[in-house]
C-alpha cells in the first residue's frame, strides 16, 4: 500500500464569478459587505482579473509528486486539498479513506507554522481521516535542507538588478503574512520563525543590512502583527535607504499577496517616496524547491 501525501494550501477563486462565494467561505459563512467585496475585486483586477494561485499550486503538487516518484518509485500517492476552495482538504482526506490508505502525510505549502495557519490545516485533515488512518503532520519546514539556501539565491539574484556600488546601502526586507495579534498571547512562535529564517537567509546571502515586515493583514477590527511593509518602506526612506529588495519569504508562489500587495501596493508606495524596490522571484514549481519538499516528505515517511 502506498503512503498518501495530502498537500494543502489556502485556495483561491478560479474565476471572477467565484470571488464572492470564496470571500464568504473565508469569512466562515458571513457574506462580505459591498465595500469589502469591491475592494477585493479591485485587487484581483489589478493583477489581471484573478489570481494564478490555483495553477501555481497545481504545478507544485505535480512537481512534488514527480520528485517523490523519482526518489522513491511507487511509494507515494500525492493529492491536493484546499482550506477554502474545492477540492477542500476534507474531501481529499476522505478520498484517501475510501481508497483504503492506512498512512497519510500532511504538508501545507507555507514554510512557517502557526496556530491560525498550519495547525488548522492539520487539525481538519486529521479529523477527516479518522482514527483508522495514521496521520503524520509536517509543521514548519523553513529549516528544511536547502530551503534557505534557495531563498538566499533569490536574494542575490535580486541584488544583481541593483548596481553593485549601491549594495552597501541596499536593505533587504523579508516579509510574511500578518496574523491577528491575539496569537501572541498563546505563545505562538510564528513571529520568531520569520525573524530566524530571515536572519539565516540574510547570512547565507551575504547580506548585513536587512529587516522584517508584515504584509497582507486582514480587513478586520482586530489588531494584526506589525509593522506593515508599507510603513517599513517609508521608515527606510526616512533613514536614507534608497534601494530595497523585497523578499516575501513567507510565500512560495505568485498570487494576490505577492502580485498585488508587493508588486502593486508596495511598489506604488516605493515610487511615491522615491525608493527603488526590487522583488525576489517566487519559488513556484522550481524543480529545486520541489526536490526540497519531496525530501521533507520522505523524511516524514
Q: How confident is the model at residue 219 (pLDDT cuts 50, 70, 90)?
A: confident
How high is the pLDDT of residue 45? 96
For residue 154, CA distances in Å to 12, 17, 77, 202, 283 come to 25, 35, 31, 11, 9
Q: Span 93-118, mean pLDDT?
A: 97
Residues 113, 190: contact at Cβ < 8 Å?
Answer: yes
> In sequence order, what E strands does the chain have?
3-9, 76-82, 103-108, 134-137, 170-177, 210-215, 243-247, 276-279
Helix (H, G, I), strand (E, B) or coil at 106: strand
Please report the sign of the dihedral spanned by the C-alpha atoms of residue 281, residue 287, residue 290, residue 291: negative
pLDDT over threshold 90, residue 103: yes
Residues 245, 161: contact at Cβ < 8 Å?
Answer: no
The partner residues of 175 in beta bridges, in order of sequence, read 213
Alpha carbon of residue 2 to chain centroid: 28
pLDDT over threshold 90, residue 220: no
Q: Using CA atoms, how far apart are residues 205 and 280, in angstroms rounded to an integer?
A: 12
- pLDDT mean across residues, the chain: 97
For residue 104, CA distances in Å to 40, 114, 130, 144 come to 35, 21, 11, 20
Q: How confident is the model at residue 236 (pLDDT cuts 50, 70, 90)?
A: very high
pLDDT over threshold 90, residue 87: yes
pLDDT over threshold 90, residue 157: yes
Q: Domain ranges in the chain?
A: 3-141+286-300, 147-279
Percent of the chain with pLDDT over 70: 100
Q: How confident is the model at residue 143 (pLDDT cuts 50, 70, 90)?
A: very high
CATH fold label, 3-141+286-300: Rossmann fold (3.40.50)
Q: Span 219-236, mean pLDDT?
A: 95
Percent of the chain with pLDDT over 90: 97
In CATH, what number does 147-279 get? 3.40.50.1400
Which of these ranges, 195-204, 214-223, 250-259, has the smallest mean pLDDT? 214-223
Q: How confident is the model at residue 42 (pLDDT cuts 50, 70, 90)?
A: very high
How high is the pLDDT of residue 10? 95
φ/ψ region of 215 (left if φ > 0, alpha if ψ in -120 to 50, else beta) reads beta
Q: Using CA atoms, how far apart are residues 31 and 21, in angstroms rounded to an integer?
A: 8
pTM: 0.96
Q: Span 236-258, mean pLDDT?
A: 97
Q: How confident is the model at residue 221 (pLDDT cuts 50, 70, 90)?
A: confident
Q: How confident is the model at residue 184 (pLDDT cuts 50, 70, 90)?
A: very high
Topology alike, domains 3-141+286-300 and 147-279: yes
Amino acid at each position: 500500500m502506498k503512503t498518501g501525501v495530502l498537500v494543502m494550501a489556502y485556495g483561491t477563486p478560479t474565476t471572477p464569478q467565484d470571488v464572492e462565494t470564496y470571500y464568504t467561505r473565508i469569512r466562515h459563512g458571513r457574506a462580505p459587505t459591498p465595500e469589502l467585496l469591491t475592494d477585493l475585486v479591485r485587487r484581483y483586477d489589478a493583477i489581471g482579473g484573478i489570481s494564478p494561485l490555483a495553477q501555481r499550486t497545481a504545478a507544485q503538487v505535480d512537481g512534488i509528486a514527480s520528485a517523490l516518484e523519482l526518489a522513491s518509485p511507487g511509494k507515494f500517492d500525492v493529492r491536493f486539498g484546499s482550506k477554502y476552495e474545492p477540492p477542500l482538504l476534507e474531501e481529499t482526506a476522505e478520498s484517501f479513506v475510501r481508497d483504503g490508505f492506512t498512512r497519510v502525510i500532511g504538508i501545507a505549502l507555507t514554510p512557517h507554522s502557526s496556530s491560525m495557519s498550519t495547525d488548522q490545516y492539520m487539525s481538519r485533515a486529521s479529523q477527516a481521516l479518522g482514527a483508522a488512518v495514521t496521520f503524520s503532520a509536517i509543521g514548519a519546514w523553513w529549516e528544511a535542507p536547502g530551503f534557505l539556501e534557495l531563498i538566499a539565491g533569490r536574494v542575490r539574484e535580486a541584488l544583481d538588478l541593483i548596481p553593485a556600488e549601491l549594495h552597501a546601502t541596499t536593505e533587504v526586507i523579508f516579509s510574511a503574512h500578518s496574523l491577528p495579534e491575539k496569537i501572541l498571547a498563546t505563545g505562538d512562535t510564528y513571529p520568531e520563525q520569520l525573524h530566524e529564517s530571515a536572519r539565516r537567509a540574510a547570512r547565507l546571502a551575504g547580506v548585513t543590512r536587512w529587516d522584517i515586515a508584515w504584509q497582507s493583514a486582514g480587513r478586520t477590527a482586530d489588531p494584526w502583527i506589525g509593522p506593515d511593509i508599507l510603513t517599513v518602506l517609508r521608515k527606510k526612506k526616512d533613514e536614507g535607504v534608497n534601494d530595497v529588495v523585497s523578499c516575501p519569504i513567507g510565500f512560495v508562489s505568485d498570487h494576490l499577496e505577492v502580485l498585488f500587495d508587493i508588486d502593486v501596493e508596495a511598489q506604488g508606495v516605493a515610487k511615491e517616496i522615491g525608493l527603488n524596490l526590487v522583488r525576489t522571484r517566487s519559488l513556484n514549481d522550481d524543480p529545486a524547491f520541489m526536490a526540497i519538499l519531496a525530501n521533507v516528505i520522505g523524511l516524514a515517511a
